[in-house]
Amino acid sequence: MLVFHFYSSNSQEGVTQSMTKSFELILFDLDDTLLYFEDYWEQGTKEAFRQFPITESLNADRLFETYQEYSAYYVEKYHQQEISIQQFRNNRFIRTLNDWGVNVDEAAAHRFNELYHEVSTRFMIAAPELSPLLDMLQRSYKLGIVTNGTREVQFDKLKALGIESYFPQGGVIISDDIGWEKPDPRIYEAALSFFAAQPETTLFVGDSWKNDVVGPGSLGIASIWLNKKGEPAKQHPTLFATIERLDELGEKLTS
């Protein structure tokens, strides 16, 4: 167990309080935290377009532009929990093809998504600093993952990155397995239960303010926000630190 001291300012009282945090467990988000979506999404999608029978004769670059627009539209609906992750994936494909004058159904969209999943793993490459960081952290902490997604897809990402061995069997908590998606408190409770951990000794690291700061914060879990998009600074009672790159994490935990 390592002990860290940090300070939080109370603007109403005009005082600064010193608090001590003793972290034993670090939980990571997966997508856009351990694996950067933009590193593989465009290449993987275009290659899937080139191989899929319905789209192989279409211009993959131009098709991707339309697909990207619908992806941005439907991902907001998914984040607002208006549609499921499967609806998000299917709808963006169906609407894209409709714009190109091609009518496709849910079954065709599902087949495309399966092909994309198979193809995209070839373009998933771990950042050079990822394994050394996890090597260092596992000497002092238990490590786990809490992620939204489907089991097969998320585990294939871990295998593509070569990092599955850093996390114990059962220590990768996936929404598809347990029926609750971040930021539902029950998905974080499932992780705490598996590791027999307490909220006050747990740290969550992720890029989503809603899912990786506010969500775990509702249980009293501290967080480090990976603000890689350079969004304006935010405050939350359980926010431990903000970083812009994952390789800053070690420094924050040892400073």
- Which CATH number belongs to the domain containing residue 104 in this structure? 1.10.150
195: buried, middle or exposed (CB in 10 Å: 19+, 13-18, 0-12)?
buried
pLDDT in tens, the chain (255 residues): 444 444 343 332 222 233 346 899 999 999 999 999 988 999 999 999 999 999 999 999 999 999 999 999 999 998 888 998 899 999 999 999 999 999 999 999 999 999 999 999 999 999 999 999 999 999 999 999 999 999 999 999 999 999 999 999 999 999 999 999 999 999 999 999 999 999 999 999 999 999 999 999 999 999 999 999 999 999 999 999 999 999 999 999 987
- Which CATH number belongs to the domain containing residue 172 in this structure? 3.40.50.1000
Distance (Å) of CA 5 to CA 18, 27, 49, 240, 253: 7, 20, 51, 10, 10
Q: How many domains does the chain have?
A: 2
Tokens describing residue 148: 């939204």
* 143 shares a domain with 119: no
Helix (H) or strand (E) holding 133, with range, is helix 130-138
- Final residue in a domain of this structure, among 57, 92, 123: 123
* 241 shares a domain with 162: yes
pLDDT score, position 21: 63
* 45 shares a domain with 96: yes
Quote the domain boundaries for residue 10.
2-36+127-254
* 244 shares a domain with 169: yes
* 223 shares a domain with 165: yes
* 205 shares a domain with 180: yes
Distance of CA 106 to the CA centre of its chain: 26
* 117 shares a domain with 217: no
* 116 shares a domain with 45: yes
- Final residue in a domain of this structure, among 72, 89, 123: 123
* 45 shares a domain with 12: no
Query: What CA–CA distance (Å, rounded) separates 182 from 185?
Result: 7
Distance (Å) of CA 21 to CA 11, 71, 137: 21, 39, 16
- Is the peptide bond preceding residue 168 cis, with omega within 30 degrees of 0? no
* 114 shares a domain with 54: yes
- Final residue in a domain of this structure, among 107, 123, 139: 123
12 contacts: CB under 8 Å, gap ≥ 6: none
Reduced to 3 states (helix: H, G, I; strand: E, B; else coil), residue 84 is: coil
* 151 shares a domain with 106: no
* 151 shares a domain with 113: no
CA 140, 32, 75, 158 torsion-angle sign: negative
